[in-house]
Amino acid sequence: MAPNAIWDMTPRQGVDRECGRRGEPEVVAACAGLLAGGDADRSFVFAIGGRAAESVTGAHPRRDQRYFLPVRAARALLYA
């Protein structure tokens, strides 16, 4: 799959793909961790957040985007 191909997926498709790669229990655990204020690896953040994940994973994450991770984690739980 091309590197940008994940950004062409719907949120459900991205989560389905990540469940296939990591397993559903690991995806659910990673989402729960984000909801509890924890961190996740960059590839997981892109899997659940798509292109917009760049705003929170770059060298200078935007402080006004702090809501991004828990919101995307909660949405991912709908599809996991």
pLDDT of residue 61: 78
Q: Which residue has the higher pLDDT, 36 or 51?
A: 36
Give residue-wise pLDDT tens across range 1-16: 444 555 678 889 999 9
Query: What is the per-residue pLDDT for 59?
Result: 76
14-39: b or e for each residue (b if 16 or more CB lie within 10 Å)?
A: bbbebbeebeeeebbebbeebeeeee
- Cβ atoms within 10 Å, residue 11: 16
